[in-house]
Structure 1
Amino acid sequence: MDIPDLVQQELGDEEIQAGVTLGDEDAVCFTRTRTLVYRGEGLLSDEKVETYPFDFERLTISTGRRKTKFTLVYTDQKREFGVPGSRADAVLERLIEGTLRGSTVIGAEESVTGVFRFSELTLVVTDNRLLKHLGNVTWDNDFESYEFDAVTGLEFEEGSVATAIVLGVNDRPERIKAPSEQAPAVRKTLQEALFAFHEVSSLADLNAKVASKPEAEPDDNDGLGLESGIDPLVSDGEDEASDQPAEPDPTTDTTTSAPDRGPGEPSPHSGDSGDIAALEQQVARLTAAIERQNERIEAQEETIKTLINELRQGR
C-alpha cells in the first residue's frame, strides 16, 4: 500500500505498522500509538487525515448494510469513523491490538490473530492468550484473560445452533458458545494459536501435552500415616501406675472381732492417719496422670483433624 504524502507528514517520528485499504484512495493506517484515517480528495471533500489515539476507554461498533461505524469514547470526547463493511474485521483487529498493546495487556511483540463478535460477546485470540469481553460495547476494560500457558485442555461440543468451546484453564472448564456459522473460524484460529504456542500439531497432542498429571498417592511410610508423630494415649510409666493393684482400704474391717492385745500394744487404728495420707497421695498421682492423659487425647484429636484436612487437600 502506497503511503499518501499527507499521511507521511502526519507520522512525525512514528512508523506505520499496518494498513487497511478502504477502496479508491482511502486507507486506515496504524502506528504504535494511534490510528490514522486517510480520505482522498473527492468531488465534495478535500484530502484529509484524522487521528484516533489508542487510549480510548470504550469501543462500540454499529453495522449497517454497507458500512460499519466505529465509535471511540475517550475521557473527554467521543469520536467515530466509518469503513466499508468488507474491511471492518481487519480494521477491528488492528484497533483492538493497538489498545491492548498500549495498555500493556499484551506484549510489545504479541499479535492479535483474530477478533470475533457474537451479539454481546467479543473474543480476541492473540499469540499467547484468549480474551473474552461481555457487554453491549465491543471493548472496554472489563474483560477476562485466559493465558495459554495455563490451558489444561480444549474441547468443542457441536450443536445445531451453537458450538461450545470448552477451554480448560488450571483444570477449571471455561465454556464459551459460538454460533454454528462462525464456530469453524473460531476453532481454526484458536487451535492454530494454541498449537503454535505449545508446539504441537493436533488437538489430541495438545490435550495430551497440557493435561495435568495425577498426583502420586501418599506413601504409608512417608510420615503422613495416622500413626506418625502421635504419642500413645498413655505413656509406659503411666501404664505401670495404672496396672498396680490398689492398696486395701484401711477403713474396711474384714474381721468379726479384734484380737486380744497385751499391755502397751498399739491400737489397731493408730496407723489409720498414715494410710489415709498415702492413699491421698496415690489418688493425687492418679488424678494428675488422668489429666495429662486427657490433654494428650485432645492434642491427638487436633493432630488427627489436621492430618485429615491435609490429606483431603492432597498435601
Structure 2
Amino acid sequence: MKVPPLVRRELGDEEIRASVNLGDEDVVCFTATRTLVYRGEGLLSDEKVVAYPHDFERLTVSEGRRKTKLTLYYADEKRDLGVPLDRGETVLERLLEGRLGVAGVTADDEGVNGVFRFSELTLVVTDAQLLKHIGGVTWDADFESYSFADVTGLDFEEGSVATAIVFAVDGRPERIKAPAEQAPAVQQTLQRALFAYHDVSSLDELNAKVGSEPDEEADAEDGLDLDAGIDPLVGGEDDEDESGGQPSERAARTPAAGGQRDTADGVNAAQRSASQSQPSTQRTPPATADTSADLASLESQVAELTAAVERQNERIERQEQVIEKLIEELRQGR
C-alpha cells in the first residue's frame, strides 16, 4: 500500500501493522498504539489524518444501512469513527487487536482471528485465547479470558435456533450459545486457532490430546444460556444517523432537478417563439424572396436555441457529477 505523505509524517517512528481501504483515497492505518484515519481531499473537507489512541476504555458499535459507526470512549471524551458497512468488521478486529495489545492482554505477536457479536455477548478469538465480554457495549474492561493452554475439550451442539459451543477449561465446560446463522463462522475460527495452537488437524485429535472428563455440575452452575434475545447488536444511534443523511441527499439533488426544469422552460419558450415567428396561413403568401429570408431567420433562431440547450445540458451534467461526488462523501462519513 502506498502510504500518503500526511500519514507518513504522523507516524513518526511507528510502523503500520495493518491497513483497511475505505474507498477512493481514504484509508485506515493501524500501529501498535494508534489507529490513523486518512481522508483525502474532497468537496466537503481538506486532506487530513485523525488519530485514535488504543487506550480507550470502552467501545460501542452501531450499524446502519450503509455505515458502521464505532464510538471510542476515553477518560475525558468520546470519538466516533464511521466506515463503510462492509469494512466495519475488519476495522473492529484491528481496533480490538490494538486495544488488547496496549492493555497487555495479548502478546506482541498474538493476533486477533475473529470478533463475533451477538445480542449482549462479544467473543474474540486470538491466536492463544478466547475472550468473552457480556454486556450492552461491545468492549470494556469487564471480560473473561480462557487460555488455549488450559483447554481440555471442545464440542458443538447444534440446534434449530442456536448452537452451543462447549468449551472446556481444566475440565469445567463453559457453554456459549451462538445464533445458528453465525455459529459456523465461530466454529471454523475457533477450531482453526485451537488446531494451530495444539498442532492438530481435527476435532478428534484435539480432544484426544487435551481431553479430560467434563464436570457436569460445573456445567450446570457456570453455563451461559443466551436462548432469549439473540438479536444482532445494533445501536439506536443508527436511526439518528440515517435520518440525518437522507435530507442531505434530497437537498443535494435539488440543483439538478431545478436545472432540468429551467431547460424545459427554455425549450418551451423557444417553441413558442418559433411558432409566433411563423407566418399565418390566413395572410397573402409573400414573395419568394421574402419567404427565403424568413426561413433563414427561423433557422438562425433554431440554431441559437439548440446551442443554448446544449450548453444548459452540459451544465446539468457537471452539476450531477458534483452531486454524485457529494453523496459519496456523505456516505463515507466525511
Superposition TM-score tier, normalisation by shorter sequence: 0.5 to 0.7
TM-score, length-scaled by structure 1: 0.67
Deviations 1:22-65 (A, max 9, x none): 01111110011000011111112111100000000000011101
Q: Report the counterpart of residue 316 of structure 2 in structure 1.
A: none
Structure 1 position 212, deviation (Å)? 2.8
| Alpha-carbon distance in structure 1 between the residues aligned to 2:127 and 2:119 | 24
1:143 equivalent to 2:127? Answer no
Deviations 1:87-109 (A, max 9, x none): 00110000000000000001011
Structure 1 position 199, deviation (Å)? 0.6
Structure 1 position 74, deviation (Å)? 0.4
Task: List gaps (5 residues or longer) in structure 1.
Answer: 215-315
Q: Report the counterpart of residue 115 of structure 1 in structure 2.
A: 115
1:128 equivalent to 2:122? Answer no
| Alpha-carbon distance in structure 2 between the residues aligned to 1:92 and 1:213 | 36
| Alpha-carbon distance in structure 2 between the residues aligned to 1:20 and 1:129 | 25
Deviations 1:119-140 (A, max 9, x none): 2110000010000001110000
Residues 49, 31 of structure 1: alpha-carbon distance in 2 compared, 3 angstrom cutoff: same
Q: Report the counterpart of residue 57 of structure 1 in structure 2.
A: 57
Query: Secondary structure at the residue paired with 2:177?
Result: strand
| Alpha-carbon distance in structure 2 between the residues aligned to 1:94 and 1:163 | 27
Query: Secondary structure at the residue paired with 1:145?
Result: strand
Q: Report the counterpart of residue 91 of structure 2 in structure 1.
A: 91
Structure 1 position 142, deviation (Å)? 0.3
| Alpha-carbon distance in structure 1 between the residues aligned to 2:202 and 2:25 | 43
Query: Secondary structure at the residue paired with 1:45?
Result: coil
Task: List gaps (5 residues or longer) in structure 2.
Answer: 215-334
1:46 equivalent to 2:46? Answer yes
- 1:203 alignment partner AA: L
| Alpha-carbon distance in structure 2 between the residues aligned to 1:167 and 1:155 | 7
| Alpha-carbon distance in structure 2 between the residues aligned to 1:44 and 1:169 | 53
Structure 1 position 213, deviation (Å)? 8.2
1:34 equivalent to 2:16? Answer no
- 2:193 alignment partner AA: A
| Alpha-carbon distance in structure 2 between the residues aligned to 1:58 and 1:213 | 38
Residues 58, 213 of structure 1: alpha-carbon distance in 2 compared, 3 angstrom cutoff: closer
Residues 132, 213 of structure 1: alpha-carbon distance in 2 compared, 3 angstrom cutoff: closer
The total of aligned residue pairs comes to 214
Q: Report the counterpart of residue 79 of structure 1 in structure 2.
A: 79
Q: Which runs of 4+ in 1 moved over 6 A?
A: none
Query: Secondary structure at the residue paired with 1:197?
Result: helix
Query: Secondary structure at the residue paired with 2:160?
Result: coil
| Alpha-carbon distance in structure 1 between the residues aligned to 2:62 and 2:110 | 28
Q: Report the counterpart of residue 161 of structure 1 in structure 2.
A: 161
What percentage of residue pairs aligned between the two structures are identical? 71
| Alpha-carbon distance in structure 1 between the residues aligned to 2:190 and 2:119 | 19
| Alpha-carbon distance in structure 2 between the residues aligned to 1:205 and 1:48 | 52
- 1:106 alignment partner AA: T
| Alpha-carbon distance in structure 1 between the residues aligned to 2:2 and 2:166 | 43
Q: Which has the higher helix share?
A: 2
Query: Secondary structure at the residue paired with 2:13?
Result: coil
Higher relative contact order (CA 8 A, sep 6+): 2
| Alpha-carbon distance in structure 2 between the residues aligned to 1:63 and 1:15 | 30
Q: Report the counterpart of residue 229 of structure 2 in structure 1.
A: none
User: Contact 2:59–2:71 (CA<8 Å) still a contact in 1?
Assistant: yes
Matches within 5 A, 1:173-192: 173-192=173-192
- 2:166 alignment partner AA: V
Q: Report the counterpart of residue 6 of structure 1 in structure 2.
A: 6
Matches within 5 A, 1:263-274: none
| Alpha-carbon distance in structure 2 between the residues aligned to 1:48 and 1:120 | 35
User: Contact 2:101–2:107 (CA<8 Å) still a contact in 1?
Assistant: yes
User: Contact 2:171–2:213 (CA<8 Å) still a contact in 1?
Assistant: no
Query: Secondary structure at the residue paired with 2:45?
Result: coil
Query: Secondary structure at the residue paired with 2:113?
Result: strand
Residues 213, 167 of structure 1: alpha-carbon distance in 2 compared, 3 angstrom cutoff: closer
| Alpha-carbon distance in structure 2 between the residues aligned to 1:127 and 1:62 | 27
Deviations 1:215-265 (A, max 9, x none): xxxxxxxxxxxxxxxxxxxxxxxxxxxxxxxxxxxxxxxxxxxxxxxxxxx
Q: Report the counterpart of residue 288 of structure 1 in structure 2.
A: none
Deviations 1:129-168 (A, max 9, x none): 0000011100000000000010000000000011000000
| Alpha-carbon distance in structure 1 between the residues aligned to 2:138 and 2:195 | 27
- 1:210 alignment partner AA: V
| Alpha-carbon distance in structure 2 between the residues aligned to 1:35 and 1:26 | 13
Query: Secondary structure at the residue paired with 2:65?
Result: coil
- 2:125 alignment partner AA: V
Deviations 1:188-224 (A, max 9, x none): 000000000111000001001001389xxxxxxxxxx
| Alpha-carbon distance in structure 1 between the residues aligned to 2:101 and 2:63 | 25
